[in-house]
Amino acid sequence: MAQTITRSVKDIVKQALSSVPAISAEDALALANSPGHVFVDLRDGTEQAKTGVIAGAVASSRGMMEFHIDPESPAHKPEFNQDKTYVFYCASGGRSALAAQVAMDMGLTPVMNMTGGVAAWKKVGGTLS
Distances (CA, A) of 105 to 49, 102, 126: 29, 5, 29
CA distance 13 to 2: 24
Q: Which helix (H) or strand (E) holds 65?
A: helix 65-69
Considering the four listed CATH numbers 3.40.50.300, 3.30.2230.10, 3.40.1160.10, 3.40.250.10, the one that applies to the domain covering 21-123 is 3.40.250.10
Angle between helices 9-19 and 94-106 (to 10 degrees): 60
Residues 6+ apart with CB under 8 A from 120: 24, 25, 92, 93, 114
CA gap 18, 30 in Å, rounded: 23
pTM of the model: 0.96
Spell out the per-residue pLDDT of the chain, length 129, in tens.
Answer: 899 999 999 999 999 999 999 999 999 999 999 999 999 999 999 999 999 999 999 999 999 999 999 999 999 999 999 999 999 999 999 999 999 999 999 999 999 999 999 999 999 999 999
